[in-house]
């Protein structure tokens, strides 16, 4: 069992996937706290419905980024957080936060990094004319959307795709690879050596998801 803290900024569909996977008994994790940096996030409504503890910590309440990050870290530590999950959290975290949870902050990004980092990754893929894209769960370091990769899922990009249709196709895999990754942490199977992450006992060499999904 791993105790997680989840940071969100908006819709919260990845948070919902985590909540549902726990409820279905597939994911052995407990959500200690959800923090939103946006008081209007739909994710907060999902927390209320599911009875998950949540709070709002907004950047504008602090004079410096360091103070904001310290508040986030203190709140998460206060709930015994072992793993921090960025699930649609649209801010870049700096060393003040990351040093509180070394190699224990993960992020979901809607592209096959290092392609299409930053905002509107799905729109970038469509406009670039890429023929495949996907999503990645990675360890967060001080780079932006470029930390060590844990798992990636590949989806096709079709000629008729819009950013919205591609986003939907990618999202269906986001909702599987993020809970799967948390489960691997819960089982103590994630080994990070420099840029290389290996999930002990996982089946590699399968597509569209590498390493292969297990229960998700
Ligand atoms: C997801 O597509 C996630 O991959 C993306 O924001 C969306 C949040 O959706 N994150 C990033 O682009 C981070 N760079 P959700 O709020 O419904 O989970």
Q: Structure pTM?
A: 0.98
Pocket lining for ligand 1, CB < 6 angstroms: 10-14, 87-88, 108-110, 121, 145, 171, 174
Task: Return the pLDDT at 214.
Answer: 97
Task: Return the pLDDT at 96.
Answer: 87
* Cis geometry, peptide bond prior to residue 65 (ω within 30 degrees of 0): no
What counts of helices (H) and strands (E) characterise the chain?
Answer: 6, 10
Task: Return the pLDDT at 161.
Answer: 98
- Which atom number of ligand 1 is nearest to the Cα of residue 42? 16
Secondary structure in 3-state letters for 46-71: HHHHHCCCEEECCHHHCCCHHHHHHH
Active site residues: 109
- Per residue of the chain (216 residues), give pLDDT as tens: 999 999 999 999 999 999 999 999 999 999 999 999 999 999 999 999 999 999 999 999 999 999 999 999 999 999 999 999 999 999 999 998 999 999 999 999 999 999 999 999 999 999 999 999 999 999 999 999 999 999 999 999 999 999 999 999 999 999 999 999 999 999 999 999 999 999 999 999 999 999 999 999
Residue ranges and CATH numbers for the domains of the chain are 1-102 (3.40.50.170), 108-216 (3.40.50.170)
What's the CA-to-centroid distance between 91 and ligand 1, angstroms? 11
């Amino acid at each position: 069992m791993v105790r997680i803290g989840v940071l969100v900024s908006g819709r919260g569909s990845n948070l919902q996937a985590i909540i549902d996977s726990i409820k279905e008994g597939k994911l052995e994790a407990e959500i200690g706290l959800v923090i939103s940096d946006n008081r209007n996030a739909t994710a907060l409504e999902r927390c209320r419905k599911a009875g998950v503890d949540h709070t709002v910590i907004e950047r504008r309440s602090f004079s410096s980024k360091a103070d904001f990050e310290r508040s986030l870290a203190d709140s998460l530590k206060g709930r015994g957080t072992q793993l921090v999950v960025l699930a649609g959290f649209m801010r870049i975290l700096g060393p003040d936060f990351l040093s509180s949870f070394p190699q224990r902050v993960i992020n979901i990004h809607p592209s096959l990094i290092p392609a299409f980092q930053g905002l509107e990754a799905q729109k970038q893929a469509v406009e670039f004319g890429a023929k495949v894209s996907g999503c990645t769960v990675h360890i967060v370091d001080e780079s932006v959307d470029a930390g060590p990769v844990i798992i990636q899922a590949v989806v096709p990009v079709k000629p008729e795709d819009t950013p919205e249709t591609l986003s939907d196709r990618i999202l269906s895999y986001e909702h599987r690879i993020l809970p799967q990754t948390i489960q691997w942490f819960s089982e103590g199977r994630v080994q990070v050596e420099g840029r290389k992450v290996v999930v002990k006992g996982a089946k590699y060499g399968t597509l569209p998801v590498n390493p292969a999904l297990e229960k998700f």
